[in-house]
Amino acid sequence: MDLQAAYEGAGIQAMLDQLDLELIGLRPVKARIREIAALLVVDRARQQVGLETKPPSLHMSFTGRPGTGKTTVAARMSKILHGLGYVRKGHVVTATRDDLVGQYIGHTAPKTREMLKKAMGGVLFIDEAYYLYRPENERDYGAEAIEILLQVMEGNRDDLVVIFAGYKDRMDIFYQSNPGLSSRVANHIDFPDYSAEELLAIAQLVLAAENYRFSQEATAAFVDYIQRRMQLPFFANARSIRNAIDRARMRQANRLFSRIGSPLTKLDLMTIEAEDITASRVFDGEVEGLDPSRPLT
């Protein structure tokens, strides 16, 4: 049995290489995904030579702050599972509490089962999963959704993988609230925050993908921006960086538009200058996108 051939034949190496290209950093996350992929390849090899074993539990928990790549990794994981034959379709259905929990008696079960039906053959990615559990509200129907999820996770483990995601501290409490849920989730992966250097690399990837570039002065200004933004509330790692790039592009467009009548070069159209960065409210200690008249909390 040639494990390397099986690994490459299922397209796993290509998928993992693509993940390296798509996501900066996250070494412990990528290492864990490779470990899971190796386990699945060996499991398939054992089946092919008649070594019967119970299929591994593939339900997962992704913990970390927003913008750390959880959704991207879920999509890549689904393709890996599909490539190895563990799910039929390899798609991802994203759900939140509002998609699963009803507002009155008899409303939750059909909502939850509809989402499970859409996800069957792939991955159900439940973001901010801890909102399903609200013990302070006796009339809340989240517990019903959890019980249905548990039944389907166990009964359809050969054709559905559920990934619960959210902040680590809240997810820990969520799992403690339901031992049955905790026992069904075998793979816990923590997504660390990005460093300032990694965030700059992400910004440069985003720019290159859209045929933009930083001038040398803009690069220095964006390094300063990152340091300041990381200290402010509501920082969402790569998501905040992408938002910052979008706003810099808007400022660049307005700057170029003010030069109507003057010829522009291709380089002009591509280049983000320092002034497109330093005009951000972040340099005044404020979070862009929020009402400036309201204090930060």
Asked if residue 289 belongs to a domain, the reply is no
Asked if residue 297 belongs to a domain, the reply is no
Asked if residue 294 belongs to a domain, the reply is no
Instruction: Please check whether residues 221 and 276 belong to one and the same domain.
Output: yes
Asked if residue 295 belongs to a domain, the reply is no
Instruction: Please check whether residues 210 and 154 belong to one and the same domain.
Output: no
Q: What is the dihedral of CA 209, 215, 220, 226, to 10 degrees?
A: -30
User: Model confidence at 289, in pLDDT bands (50, 70, 90)?
Assistant: low
Q: What is the CATH number of the domain that holds 155?
A: 3.40.50.300
Instruction: Please check whether residues 169 and 265 belong to one and the same domain.
Output: no
Q: If you average pLDDT over each of 53-62, 153-162, 200-209, which comes out highest?
A: 200-209
Tally the domains of the chain.
2
pLDDT of 296 reads 40
Domain end, chosen from 190, 220, 240, is at 190
Say how far apart CA 217 and CA 274 lie, in whole Å. Answer: 5
More confident residue, 135 or 127: 127
Domain end, chosen from 157, 190, 223, is at 190
Instruction: Please check whether residues 178 and 225 belong to one and the same domain.
Output: no
Say how far apart CA 259 and CA 67 lie, in whole Å. Answer: 36
> Span 210-223, mean pLDDT?
98
Asked if residue 291 belongs to a domain, the reply is no
- 9-23, 33-47, 125-139, 155-169: least confident range: 9-23
Asked if residue 237 belongs to a domain, the reply is yes
Q: What is the CATH number of the domain that holds 278?
A: 1.10.8.60
Instruction: Please check whether residues 137 and 92 belong to one and the same domain.
Output: yes
Domain that holds residue 125: 3-190
> Span 254-262, mean pLDDT?
89
Instruction: Please check whether residues 19 and 164 belong to one and the same domain.
Output: yes
Instruction: Please check whether residues 143 and 244 belong to one and the same domain.
Output: no
- 63-72, 201-210, 242-251, 253-262: least confident range: 253-262
Instruction: Please check whether residues 178 and 248 belong to one and the same domain.
Output: no
> Span 138-165, mean pLDDT?
90
Asked if residue 121 belongs to a domain, the reply is yes
Domain end, chosen from 140, 164, 190, is at 190
More confident residue, 42 or 255: 255
Instruction: Please check whether residues 255 and 171 belong to one and the same domain.
Output: no
Tell me the β-bridge partners of 214: 272
Instruction: Please check whether residues 9 and 146 belong to one and the same domain.
Output: yes
Instruction: Please check whether residues 105 and 207 belong to one and the same domain.
Output: no
Asked if residue 249 belongs to a domain, the reply is yes
3-class secondary structure per residue, the chain: CCHHHHHHHCCHHHHHHHHHHHCCCCHHHHHHHHHHHHHHHHHHHHHHCCCCCCCCCCCEEEECCCCCCHHHHHHHHHHHHHHCCCCCCCCEEEECHHHHCCCCCCCHHHHHHHHHHHHCCCEEEEECHHHHCCCCCCCCCHHHHHHHHHHHHHHCCCCCEEEEEECHHHHHHHHHCCHHHHHHCCEEEECCCCCHHHHHHHHHHHHHHCCCEECHHHHHHHHHHHHHHHCCCCCCHHHHHHHHHHHHHHHHHHHHHCCCCCCCCHHHHHEECHHHHHCCHHHHCCCCCCCCCCCCC
Q: How does the average pLDDT of the chain come out, rounded?
A: 90
Instruction: Please check whether residues 234 and 132 belong to one and the same domain.
Output: no
